[in-house]
Structure 1
């Protein structure tokens, strides 16, 4: 596994969850000797947000990383392409060259919504039936997509990894003073509705929100400030990373069930449940936490720390190495079989 070019298609250089995962796989590809080329509609400039994340700061033209327009991604006989957004495949497909296998396109499926016939007007579901190699980011995503998958193509689950050490904070004991509650609002206003229910003086709670998508430094401050984090996923999520990041910071997480977050959520063991968009449920969970003893709080935190330990970038990288070894072997066998039939 060395020297082969791999195009990585990304819609933006903003560090949103799906984009960050694309760049994690850029690093994984480098670790196994591939030549990554990053294809994006935005032009590379030093200091763009995703490159301010320390583990991506080395991905620069000065270090030999090529950046091209999205339409320049392609698959020659010795190339691979790596994509996450369904809308990128129609851009890539005409550029899959003669002599290249469709399994040289690697699709990472990060969300259960791929199996939703209304997502991308049904194109994502149809795309699951096309021949290409696929990585599913957890078993929930796999089960959602399985009825539509091309059975002749290689598909593996590689559990999502995260650089949770960046957010880590070790905490002991119960809550002291007013319970500090953090949340974000760019996916839901349920946090604001919960905060409004505790406006009266002496409620025993303090609330803090981030209202626009921000970088990791701002999120780290919020997670580490919060005794409790109100996770507000969309109704369909592949993973919902903020819940795991808040657990790494030792915050007790209250969250709804978005499907994909069951990869790490164990209700009653490392987080507390609330129905989707139900402010009353979140408020009830907060009131219940006020009565928890130090041992009960520590048990929830401990469960969170254990979940964080199962989702490492090192594990993800090693599984990707095994995936590529199998894929390369499969491509060689298929090419040999084709030559033998001539």
Structure 2
């Protein structure tokens, strides 16, 4: 196989299934499929009952299947090993434990967020890391454009479009909205959904929220219930996965411009635009949505389905396979 057993240390701050952590474990699976030996480094202790590992997608990543788990601080990159980091501060851990013969590009950094280019993010440490030599994966073109002015151009820098198990969230539907219109949202990044519900609940709309980070089953239930999903992101996002998941479920998406979500959001085509954290803007969009024709609603929904279908894990794995071929060639030339 392509990996020939080469070890890759995957550093993660937690086993809580938030977006950035889920993507690290997608790459653990990709590495396994390519013949590499992943070692998971985390300050938490592995338990098969954790929500992350209860998901079928990651249940095979376990000590019973030969996957080694170790403490975060024990990640060490020898001359023939690799490290995979996503959190900027994890580079400090790896850097302290690199052998004198380890090449800089043996550290793979996945840049998942436009915040890396913000000098206020991590006190500017993430931005400075962009100038350091290492191998980098950007998860979409929007992230690349944000960080491009700071990238070390002597290093391997490639975009691998973000993949997701969109089929898990899919629900086939057509036609108009319900009566009342069912509106779903989450609250862990913003309370704007609650403010919108305070204005419109009972006026032809019904609202439901997920208030804590939960597993995929609970999120899928929310998307499948909702006619409309309110995206409530932070100002700077790397992708904002709930928006794509809602599209896969056939829910009409209302979303602000949050940076990385423009990798898949096309306002007026597969979603409708609202102003960030502005409940009046969401209210106006919901009232306008209720007046839309069946043809307009179906166009948004079908374009959402088509968008979700372009972001599969299979395509991401193929991109990673090409990236690793390029990296292995570079490491071989460097001796």
Normalising by structure 2, what TM-score?
Answer: 0.98
What are the residue-to-residue correspondences of 1:122-201 with 2, within 5 Å?
122-199=124-201, 201=202
Alpha-carbon offset, residue 268 of structure 1? 0.3
CA drift at 1:98? 2.1
- Equivalent pair of 1:39/1:72 in contact (CA under 8 Å): yes
State the partner residue of 2:108: 106
SS of 2:21's partner is helix
SS at match of 1:253: strand
Q: Which runs of 5+ in 1 are unaligned?
A: 336-342
Hey, what's the Cα distance between the residues in 2 that align with 1:13 and 1:135? 22
Over 2 Å off, 4+ runs: none
Q: What is the alpha-carbon distance in structure 2 between the residues aligned to residue 176 and residue 36 of structure 1? A: 47
Matched, 1:88 2:86: no
Partner of 1:338: none
C-alpha RMSD of the superposition: 0.7
In structure 2, the residue matched to 1:339 is none
CA shift digits 1:189-231 (9 cap, x unpaired): 10011111114x4x11100011111111110100000000000
Cα distance in 2 between the residues matched to 1:235 and 1:14: 22
* Corresponding residue of 1:120: 122
Please list the CA deviations of residues 77-103 of structure 1 after superposition, one character each: whole Å capped at 9, or x if unmatched. Answer: 110100000010111101111221110
Match of 1:69 among 65, 68, 71: 71
CA–CA distance in structure 2, aligned partners of residues 156 and 74 of structure 1: 24
Separation (CA, whole Å) in 2 of partners of 1:116 and 1:97: 31
Tell me the equivalent position of 1:39. 41
Where do 1:247-326 residues align within 5 Å?
Answer: 247-326=247-326
The Cα shift of 1:176 comes to 2.9
Quick one: distance in 2 between partners of 1:18 and 1:236?
14
Q: TM-score, normalised by structure 1?
A: 0.96
Match among 53, 56, 66 for residue 54 of structure 1:
56
Residue 247 of structure 1: SS of its match in structure 2?
helix
Measured after TM superposition, the shift of residue 46 of structure 1 is: 1.6
Runs of 5+ consecutive residues of structure 2 not aligned to the other structure: none
2:5 is aligned, of 3, 11, 14, to 3
CA-to-aligned-CA distance 1:267-299 (integer Å, 9 cap, x gap):
000000001111111111100011112111110
Would the aligned equivalents of 1:138 and 1:159 in 2 still touch at CA under 8 Å? Answer: yes
Q: Does 1:231 align with 2:231?
A: yes
Query: How many aligned residue pairs are there?
Result: 333
Q: Bigger CA drift: 235-244 or 46-55?
A: 46-55
Q: Is the 8 A contact 1:164 1:245 kept in 2?
A: yes
Distance 2:82 2:286 in 1: 48
Any idea what the Cα deviations from partners look like across 1:253-275, whole Å, max 9, x if unmatched? 00000010001000000000001
- 1:217 alignment partner in structure 2: 217
**Separation in structure 2 between the aligned mates of residue 154 and residue 236 of structure 1, nearest angstrom:** 25
